[in-house]
Structure 1
Amino acid sequence: MREPKTWDVLVAGGGPVGLMLACELRLHGADVLVLERLTEPDATIKAGSVNVPTLEAFRRRDLLGPIERFQAGMLASVAQMWAEPGKPAPDVSVVRERMRTVGGHFGGLFKLDPTRLDADDPDLDITDANPLAVMPQVELERLLAERAVALGVRIRRGVAVTEIGQDDDGVSVRCGDAAEVVRARYLVGCDGGRSIVRRQAAFDFPGTDPCITGRQAMVTIDHPERLPKGWNRTEVGMVVHGPVPGRILTVEFDGPPADRDLPVTREELETSLRRVSGQDVRITAVRSATRFTDNARQATSYRQGRVLVAGDAAHVHSPFGGQGLNLGIGDAVNLGWKLAAVVRGRAGIDLLDTYTAERHPIAARVLEITRAQVALMRPDPHTNALRDVVSDLIDTHEGNAYFVKLIGGFAQRYDLGGDHPLVGRLMPLLRLADGSTLADHFHDGGFVLLDLSGADRLQGFATGTDLPVKVVAGRAESTRITGLLVRPDGYVAWAREGGTADGLPEALSRWTRTTVNV
């Protein structure tokens, strides 16, 4: 009898993070199986926006077009929300221009304005997009599922992971109540905040307990004009109405729900909405609804032997500021090329240690950001005073820039060493003389060594590396950079201004796991 197939990587969880990881793994040559317990994509209302690191990850993989097309359709819905009673909705072009001023919120202070940022701020050269783009999680999942299938990823739905075990050669995963066991060299848990993989592999998951109950839904309301639009803080908590018709969110500081698994009923939503808003409104229909809390926890390490975790399986927190989905996509982009290099024999297992080292501090910061926002929402006199101070701070030039870049993901950096300020940050969105952007050269997922010296002098450095390195030579306007080495995840590993290549062999050796002698 033929031995059962052993996959390179088994991904538990077919949400956006698991699918993005599967795409990255497959792009770099790994044989991937995704197991998802749900039979169909989850249409429940969840995350609703993506920030700069996610947008640029999609740009590098030539997936920004679908997001932009969806944005165009969303503008019409936003226009309906902004329409004044008895008047037609504003033109979509007007809405698009107003949306340029929307950089998100901090603790419900919806006043972050990216148009107030300095045009020459060096942190802004990583994108030309708005820091936040409205993109419901279910739409993102559909897009990534289509890409995964096109790349040859195997996706099995209706298959739940129930038990795992690992040995020196790989991981065995038992599925559902059946005796089926799937074998893989590595397992990555992308199975959410209550991850079976994380629990079975005994990851430490410390953090803080929840103190709120949040409810988010898409509903039909009998008198929507009675509800204030946007984010509003009341004597009870927070109530949100918009940015599209029918979307509501309430936050109450009465502790976590007694049972998060119970269905969210129309009566529960209506009671909470009336209580928090103080308005006489009725919910007549519910299209989608969910509960959430501010439970904030993070795995101390993202790897236990041959088992890894990503997304909500690695860190959980409240959804304020739209950080969770984006954080998970960042995990997937960081881990994908590294794990593929290991399973394909192009790098040693020590490369996986950089996954926790780089991503753990980013998530720890996000947890602090979300805790701070919960503290800023509390309905009490001391928080009233604190909100006034923070609001005044956001109104300043420096304060607005700080919070826009914080929520938009501009501030994310890795400690990669190096003596150039670009090292460890997302690559700049350079436009080359041939009409391409630097991002256009990442569609196949490899490293890019950019030579802007005009002398084609960096080609020899990339010869013979174990991981693929594409050398792109040319010219670019408005930059002093003469050379960049950019990893597959879009982060700069080496940068130079001037004619030397000092440090490039070391950077190539470190990340391609090849001794470079030039």
Structure 2
Amino acid sequence: MDVDVVVVGAGPTGLMLAGELARVGVRTLLLERRPEPSEVAKAGGLAGQILQLLHHRGELDRFHAAKAGPEPAPRFPFGGLHLDFTRLNDSPMRAVLLPQPRLEQLLAERAVDRGAEVRRGHEVVGLRQEDDETVTVEVRGTDGPYPVATRFVVGCDGGRSRVRDLAGIPFPGTAFPEIERLASVTVPEGVTLLDDGGLDVRGVGTIPFGYTATEHGVFACSGMGGTIGVYTAEVEATEYDDDVPMSVEELSASVHRVLGIDLPLGEPLRMTRFGYSAKQADSYRDGRVFLAGDAAHLFPAGGVAVNAGMLDAANLAWKLAGSVQGWAPPGLLDTYTAERRAAAERTLLHTRAQVALRRAHGPTGDALRALFLELAGDEQPLLRLGALMAGTDVGAPSSEAHPLVGAFATDQALRVEHRDPRVAGLLRSGRAVLLDLAARTDLREPAGLWPDRVDVVTATVDERPADVLLVRPDGLIAWAAAVDEPGATALPALRQALSTWFGASSV
């Protein structure tokens, strides 16, 4: 066996997965068909639950140090509207501004530092599942073709995934006809930024902050921090090559078609063009071949794909590691498809709803958006929408379990402040954690039977949500003991959870 896992695609999902696997000693090879990293900033940063996971990994400060600006106030676009989470005491949705090329650079450094091998300019052209143990990957490399024998293959190679096609996994869904253009530019002569984020344009007048729907498409602008953000969406039959960057002239022409004005634009700081689809693979697994990120799902709204893909990677990594290292219980790998397809369904739900909001034009569309904003002004709907956008609304927990079981260990779930130092690095080792919040020595003892898979951490919070939590390496809560729950009921349930997720004890 040449390596344990071959990861295909060096975007955020593949790089995150390679780093997660290498962290725990899995021999990992990452193959990327492009000879050099892309300089196109398709995504503008990190948002949602992945920030919480990086905080628990003890790595968030590294990404904050490289950010393109201060952490923005929690106001996020949603279907041609802006949702304002600043009215909440603790927003369930946050973001860090970090252009995708810089994000990928950090993730690549992280993966290589941990021992993963990254080969650029190496394209996967075939794969064969030889038996129950081996997959042979056929690669066209810089020095010619060669095979790689591996235990597992993970396709993180985007919406046009070669791995998905080679595995024969169907990818049903809808491709929408709009072309979206997004840019950040410097402020040109003749344009003044207004305090509310709008623009005052000489010879044109005031262009309000936010979204404007016209019969020709959707336009949005935001003038803040000494730059102008511009967005257009319009129906086009043209097919664009992802490798050909967008120009200022192309964006200017799109603004004119959608809004009917000539908007002066300064020097480009970030420019990207993309289309939207709502698609999901029928399965994220075929034998020893897996899919993650855009290869597994495409969403018809921005700001969610990187979060979803990196969470896919975190979910899959420790399960693959368990299979490579021999401790994975039966059926563990099957839970990857079940859990992450369900999470993607929730993301598809709200992104499809965003399509309906942004495409509705005229008086009826205006009425729909006005009513939606009224409802989103109330705390409970705003919390629900924030959880959906952050990817933490991962489904209803079992009625027989503690309410936190099946949920992510978020700030809200742990009842701590954002980036609370008490949980910074909680999952640093890449192993699971038994988090004791109530000095329950009786419930800490069973974790000692899985010393190579479960760490024990003690902490105190002002108002604990449970006495003890079993947190998986991907940040999901696998078991919880209710406050003051007797050991007679808690201990058997804990032992069952440990064996269900982490196999037979090693002691």
| Structure 1 and Structure 2 fold alike (TM over 0.5) | yes
1:418-429 aligned at under 5 Å gives the runs 419-429=401-411
Moved more, 437-446 or 474-483: 474-483
- Superposed displacement of residue 192, structure 1: 0.7
Task: Quote the residue 2:152 is aligned against.
Answer: 186
Which residue, out of 120, 134, 143, partners 1:170?
Answer: 134
Which residue, out of 491, 501, 507, partners 2:497?
Answer: 507
- Which string of whole-angstrom CA distances, capped at 9 and with x for unpartnered residues, describes residues 214-237 of structure 1? 122345675554383643213122
Matched, 1:234 2:213: yes
Distance 2:278 2:47 in 1: 21
Where structure 2 has 5 or more consecutive residues not aligned to the other structure, the ranges are: 193-200
Which residue, out of 275, 288, 296, partners 1:293?
Answer: 275
Task: Quote the residue 1:395 is aligned against.
Answer: 377
Task: Quote the residue 1:383 is aligned against.
Answer: 365
Moved more, 386-395 or 485-494: 386-395
Q: Is the Cα contact below 8 Å between 2:422 and 2:459 reproduced in 1?
A: no
- Superposed displacement of residue 114, structure 1: 2.4
Amino acid at match of 1:504: L
Amino acid at match of 2:44: G
Task: Quote the residue 2:335 is aligned against.
Answer: 354
Distance 2:159 2:48 in 1: 24
- Superposed displacement of residue 417, structure 1: 7.1
Distance 1:224 1:158 in 2: 44
Which residue, out of 179, 193, 210, partners 1:213?
Answer: 179
Q: Is the Cα contact below 8 Å between 1:220 and 1:284 reproduced in 2?
A: yes
Distance 1:26 1:172 in 2: 20
Task: Quote the residue 1:142 is aligned against.
Answer: 105
Amino acid at match of 2:346: R
Matched, 1:445 2:430: yes
- Which string of whole-angstrom CA distances, capped at 9 and with x for unpartnered residues, describes residues 43-79 of structure 1? 21211232231101111222111232344x513xxxx
1:82-481 aligned at under 5 Å gives the runs 99-100=72-73, 102-110=74-82, 112-117=83-88, 131-168=94-131, 169-176=133-140, 178-219=144-185, 222=188, 223-225=190-192, 226=201, 228=207, 230-235=209-214, 236-242=216-222, 245-252=227-234, 254-255=235-236, 257-261=238-242, 263=244, 264-283=246-265, 289-320=271-302, 322-348=303-329, 350-378=331-359, 379-413=361-395, 415=397, 419-429=401-411, 430=414, 437-465=422-450, 468-481=453-466
1:3-18 aligned at under 5 Å gives the runs 6-18=2-14
Distance 2:440 2:53 in 1: 30
Distance 2:397 2:380 in 1: 25
- Superposed displacement of residue 266, structure 1: 4.2
- Aligned in 2, Cα 1:512/1:249: closer, same or farther, shift over 3 Å? same
- Superposed displacement of residue 155, structure 1: 0.7
Amino acid at match of 1:171: V
Distance 1:466 1:206 in 2: 43
- Superposed displacement of residue 285, structure 1: 5.6
Distance 2:449 2:379 in 1: 49
| Paired residue total | 476
- Which string of whole-angstrom CA distances, capped at 9 and with x for unpartnered residues, describes residues 313-363 of structure 1? 00012333x111100011001001001110121115621100011010111
- Aligned in 2, Cα 1:285/1:471: closer, same or farther, shift over 3 Å? closer
The 3-state SS of whatever aligns with 1:376 is helix
Distance 1:41 1:474 in 2: 41
State, as a whole percentage, how many aligned pairs show the same letter.
Answer: 38
The 3-state SS of whatever aligns with 1:426 is coil
Distance 1:306 1:16 in 2: 22
Amino acid at match of 1:399: P
- Aligned in 2, Cα 1:12/1:420: closer, same or farther, shift over 3 Å? same
Distance 1:473 1:401 in 2: 29
The 3-state SS of whatever aligns with 1:46 is coil
- Superposed displacement of residue 440, structure 1: 2.3
Distance 2:208 2:35 in 1: 36
Q: Is the Cα contact below 8 Å between 1:298 and 1:316 reproduced in 2?
A: yes
Give the TM-score of the pair, scaled to structure 1: 0.84
Distance 1:419 1:516 in 2: 26
Give the TM-score of the pair, scaled to structure 2: 0.86
Matched, 1:492 2:477: yes
- Aligned in 2, Cα 1:384/1:113: closer, same or farther, shift over 3 Å? closer
RMSD: 2.7
Task: Quote the residue 2:195 is aligned against.
Answer: none
Q: Is the Cα contact below 8 Å between 1:21 and 1:333 reproduced in 2?
A: yes
Where structure 1 has 5 or more consecutive residues not aligned to the other structure, the ranges are: 76-95
Amino acid at match of 2:87: R
